[in-house]
Chain A
Amino acid sequence: GENVEQHPSTLSVQEGDSAVIKCTYSDSASNYFPWYKQELGKGPQLIIDIRSNVGEKKDQRIAVTLNKTAKHFSLHITETQPEDSAVYFCAASLGGGGFKTIFGAGTRLFVKA
């Protein structure tokens, strides 16, 4: 079945710096790749997603890139702020007849003021 690996598990950056989180997936049939932000005591919140027919998507300070050949995708946060501190999860989803969304193990991001 699908397996999603996420790195790093912990990331500490200085306010204003960029943060990059990387994920790889195993099933080439996956066609939807969402990213979630989870703050302490809350449910995951969808922050950006990308579908397999595009290679890059940007929303203000957040961007996601997808390399289908290598089966990896990345989250880029620029100009980080303390409120970006949270746990970030990548996920991969299979389409076309069967449902599965598999999540990575998460990256705990600390943004130091």
Chain B
Amino acid sequence: DQQVKQNSPSLSVQEGRISILNCDYTNSMFDYFLWYKKYPAEGPTFLISISSIKDKNEDGRFTVFLNKSAKHLSLHIVPSQPGDSAVYFCAASASDPGGGADGLTFGKGTHLIIQP
């Protein structure tokens, strides 16, 4: 049973607009949530994270929102740029940002395509 769900396999957004990627989780023990970005033929790279004690974390064009009661988080990218085209993975940890003894639990990913 998937504990981290990304229900949109792909998302197409026009350059300059806002991209919103969604993630749902089922395990209430998760304490940290992370977004990773992956280009073809490369490993995932860390983008932004949020602790369960917060509801928002911002880093430049990237903002992550966490709604614990709904077990839902979202990544907002504004404005979207062509270089943002990649697969975005939502990940969660029940212990620490590094994943601890259980590693990180990943969603299936959303392929974001930024249209010029």
- Chain A bound to chain B: no
| A interface residues (Cβ-Cβ under 8 A, vs B) | none
Report B's interface with A, CB cutoff 8 A.
none
